[in-house]
Amino acid sequence: MVNSSQFPYFILTAYLDMGYLKYLYFVIVLMLYIVIVVANAFLILTICMKRSLHEPMYVFLCSLLVNELYGSAGLFPFLLLQITSDTHTISRSMCFLQIYCLYTYASVEFCNLAVMSYDRYLAICCPLHYKARLTSNKVALFIALIWLYSLIKFLITLCLNLRLTLCGNVIDRLYCHNYYVVKLACTETSLNNIYGFISGTLTILVPLIPILFSYAKILRVCLSSSKETRQKTLQSRFDTTGVPNLLRVFLSLYFLIGQPLFNPIMYGFRMSEIRNAKVCIGQ
């Protein structure tokens, strides 16, 4: 058995020899990162500065945008470094840190979308009780639970990974992935696999259930209402149609790159109140 201390770093083999094209890729990825940071940060600043946007829907949106910055910080600086490097390696500690960051990002993203769908359910199906059911204290509690649930859940994953003895250090990916790290283990990984399955299931099912429930209720209201009411109901939802697919070359990274890039467009710039707030700030 090979001691894991012999592998202080991992080798990422998914990077091909790009030659001088690496500088072009570097500029493209850097521009994407700048757009993501500027767009998300600007919307966060807009929501924070405009008192009329201090409502549950926009507070949840602000949490979503903060998460986009968090997830992007765990990926883009690393990609930029790897693109320009001739040796595509990452230290053991940084690899585990990246896994923790990206996995918590995904969990917070799904959970945040779940509470946003619940917010829309209350606003559309229970408008008279909306403010009573979704007070500022409850909004703060929801956001705290979203982040604590995700951070603690994957802290356990991180602790389980750190105890593993590895017999290899080659990962055929562009960034560190928990599954491929566990596959390198020489020791028993049953506990990692069981917890990984439970954690992954919870990451999807916990937010999926309220999302399906909320939109099923919203759809029921739409179908049972008049044409004018249905139109107003649909307009009150976030418009997520027509999302452009500009990142085909990064298909394997879509969730990590596309979400932070497109969310400010889908959830921000198409909201008339935010557009009006941006005009006021600019004056």
Give, in order, the Cα–Cα distances in Å from 280 to each of 51, 52, 197, 225.
12, 12, 48, 36
The reported pLDDT for the residue numbered 276 is 55
User: In terms of Cα–Cα distance, which of 260, 266, 267, 268 is closest to 74?
Assistant: 260
The reported pLDDT for the residue numbered 281 is 45
Mean pLDDT by 10 residues, the chain (283 residues): 62 80 88 88 85 85 91 91 87 91 92 89 84 90 94 91 87 86 87 89 86 82 62 45 34 46 52 50 47
Structure tokens at 264: 């400010």
Tell me the three state secondary structure of residue 172. coil
Per-domain boundaries in the chain: 4-282
Class of domain 4-282: mainly alpha
**DSSP character string of 5-32:** GG-SEEEETT----TTHHHHHHHHHHHH
Any residues with CB less than 8 A from the CB of 30 and at least 6 apart, and which? 80
Residue type, 145: L
The reported pLDDT for the residue numbered 145 is 94
3 burial (CB, 10 Å; 0-12 / 13-18 / 19+) is exposed
Q: CA torsion 189→194→197→198, rounded to 10°?
A: -140
Q: Answer yes or no: are the C-beta atoms of 200 and 43 closer than 8 Å.
A: no
The reported pLDDT for the residue numbered 225 is 62
The reported pLDDT for the residue numbered 153 is 92
State the pTM of this model.
0.76
For residue 114, give the H/E element and its range: helix 92-125
CA atoms within 13 A on the CB side of 25: 18
Q: CB count, 10 Å around CB of 27?
A: 12
